[in-house]
């Protein structure tokens, strides 16, 4: 008696994946991919492994591919996998490609056709790199364009901030969607990456942007003029976008004052050497790495040339002339510190946290006049509370 041929695995959208004893067929685009080797316990030999994330527009899942091809699998590649196994890790489904799985290239047209309403709506506070396959509804807080060099090509990138009721998110767009501050948008097809230690939404030619009504979304003015927050809270949250803090300058970190930058990447030089481009002819600049304390915590503010000149009352030309008189950068740094220590500043900008604490990249620095009588009364009240 002849046996029936085995049935083909069912084709499943990624959002519908669930652990099953039967293999499945999927089509997805590679979001991230990392190659490594693992050691077999049986004989100590090394086995290649490719792992990362796949997205089909309906969802994003992690995959593990044993013994993958040596090349040709990179971000953006669309794959069809027949006979993939579905497992669960930390209550989330994952795909495994084994020697039984047939994996090959697929076209964009083979990805599932989905409407924006089918794609899960996510809040900004819940997004984490490298998320993809979500729908976001947010308002443009601000946007600006700048020209960057990618290889030998000069390209324009549009950068800014998006906000919903849950938070604020930086974004960069390599496609000109004609965005304007204040517009409310529905965004589909973007993905999250980490840039300078903070999450950033990236929009490219695969993204779709639609204008919407914007009910329930915050207005830009609400965010850009929000009152200062305690620094301790900023530290607990690891920084963020559109932050405002206020505190007293209690220190200045080196290198501050007159510095020299790489003409290519603008990093500060050490002994005329850029850690990326080696020996270069440095370009002079002013900076101040200000330590700001509000009584609840402290953070570092990286003030650029314009803010440093305004706070110090000296220009870059003044600083270079002073260096000719006294060729010691430490003297210049001390004079800058003397001009800043004890001053109260209100700073607005974006911050990120590393092993050394939170660093704020300022959009705006405003000196705040201190009412000595009020400050003395507050201090006396604190001391009285402590004594009691």
**Predicted confidence (pLDDT) per residue in 250-304, tens digit:** 999 999 999 999 988 888 888 889 988 889 899 999 999 999 999 999 999 999 9
Q: What is the pLDDT of residues 53-96, one digit of tens each?
A: 888 877 788 899 999 998 878 878 899 999 999 988 777 789 99
- Could you tell me which residues come within 8 angstroms of residue 346 by beta carbon, excluding any fewer than 6 positions away? 228, 244, 245, 246, 365, 366, 368
Q: Average pLDDT for residues 318-338, to the nearest whole number?
A: 92
Q: What is the pLDDT of residue 374?
A: 67
Q: Which of 14-28, 59-73, 170-184 has the highest mean pLDDT?
A: 170-184
Q: How far is CA 267 from CA 156, 210, 273, 285, 364, in A?
A: 21, 38, 10, 11, 21
Q: What is the pLDDT of residue 372?
A: 63
pLDDT value at 3 more than 60: no
Domains of the chain, each with CATH number or no CATH: 14-110 (2.40.50.140), 116-222 (2.40.50.140), 226-374 (2.40.50.140)
- Could you tell me which residues come within 8 angstroms of residue 278 by beta carbon, excluding any fewer than 6 positions away? none
pLDDT value at 238 more than 60: yes
What's the burial of 106, exposed, middle or buried (CB within 10 Å: 0-12/13-18/19+)?
middle
Quote the strand ranges of 197-238, DSSP E: 198-203, 208-211
Token digits for 102? 């047939």
Q: What is the pLDDT of residue 355?
A: 84
Pairing of strands 278-279, 273-274: antiparallel
Report the mean per-residue pLDDT for the chain.
Answer: 87
Q: What is the pLDDT of residue 2?
A: 45
Among 349, 373, 86, CA closest to 239: 349
Helices (H), 261-362: 305-312, 316-325, 329-340
CA-based radius of gyration for the chain:
27
Quote the strand ranges of 67-221, DSSP E: 78-89, 92-97, 102-105, 135-150, 153-164, 167-173, 184-188, 191-195, 198-203, 208-211
Q: What is the pLDDT of residue 380?
A: 65
pLDDT value at 348 more than 80: yes
Q: Average pLDDT for residues 174-183, to the nearest whole number?
A: 92
Q: What is the pLDDT of residues 110-162, one digit of tens each?
A: 988 777 777 788 999 999 887 877 889 999 999 999 887 766 677 889 999 99
Q: What is the pLDDT of residue 71?
A: 83
User: What do you get for the CA distance between the two ends of the chain, in Å?
Assistant: 95
Among 223, 224, 241, CA closest to 358: 241
Cβ(122)–Cβ(129) below 8 Å: no
Residue 1's pLDDT band (boundaries 50, 70, 90)? very low
Give the Cα-Cα-Cα angle 143, 148, 153 (nearest 5 degrees). Answer: 135
Q: Range with the lowest mean pLDDT among 189-198, 229-238, 294-303, 347-356?
A: 189-198
Residue with tokens 């705040």: 368
pLDDT value at 174 more than 90: no
Q: What is the pLDDT of residue 331?
A: 92
pLDDT value at 4 more than 50: no
pLDDT value at 347 more than 60: yes
Q: What is the pLDDT of residue 385?
A: 55
């Amino acid at each position: 008696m002849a046996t029936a041929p085995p049935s083909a695995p069912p084709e499943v959208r990624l959002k519908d994946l669930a652990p099953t004893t039967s293999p499945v067929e999927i089509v997805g685009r590679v979001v991230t991919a990392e190659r490594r080797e693992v050691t077999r316990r049986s004989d100590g030999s090394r086995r290649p492994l490719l792992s990362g994330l796949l997205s089909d527009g309906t969802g994003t899942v992690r995959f593990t591919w044993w013994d993958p091809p040596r090349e040709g699998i990179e971000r953006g590649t669309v794959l069809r996998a027949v006979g993939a196994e579905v497992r669960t890790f930390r209550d989330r489904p994952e795909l495994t490609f084994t020697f039984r799985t047939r994996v090959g290239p697929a076209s964009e047209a083979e990805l599932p056709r989905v409407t924006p309403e089918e794609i899960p709506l996510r809040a900004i506070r819940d997004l984490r790199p490298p998320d993809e396959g979500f729908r976001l509804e947010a308002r443009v807080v601000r946007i600006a364009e700048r020209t960057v060099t990618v290889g030998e090509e000069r390209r324009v990138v549009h950068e800014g901030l998006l906000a919903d009721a849950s938070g604020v998110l930086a974004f960069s767009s390599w496609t000109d969607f004609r965005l304007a501050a204040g517009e409310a948008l529905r965004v589909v097809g973007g993905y999250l990456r980490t840039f300078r230690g903070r999450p950033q939404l990236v929009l490219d030619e695969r993204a779709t942007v639609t204008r919407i009504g914007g009910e329930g979304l915050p207005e830009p003015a609400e965010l850009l003029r929000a009152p200062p927050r305690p620094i301790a809270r900023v530290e607990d949250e690891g920084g963020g976008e559109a932050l405002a803090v206020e505190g007293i300058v209690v220190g200045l970190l080196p290198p501050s004052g007159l510095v020299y930058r790489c003409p290519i990447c603008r990093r500060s030089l050490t002994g005329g050497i850029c850690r990326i481009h080696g020996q270069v002819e440095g370009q002079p600049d002013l900076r101040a790495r200000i330590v700001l304390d509000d009584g609840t915590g402290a953070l570092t503010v990286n003030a650029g040339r314009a803010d440093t000149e305004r706070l110090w009352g000296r220009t870059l030309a003044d600083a270079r002339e002073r260096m000719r008189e006294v060729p010691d950068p430490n003297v210049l740094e001390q004079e800058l510190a003397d001009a800043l220590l004890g001053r109260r500043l209100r700073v607005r900008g974006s911050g990120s946290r590393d092993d050394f604490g939170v660093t704020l990249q300022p959009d705006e620095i405003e000196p705040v006049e201190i009412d000595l009588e009020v400050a003395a009364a507050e201090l006396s009240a604190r001391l009285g509370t402590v004594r009691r």
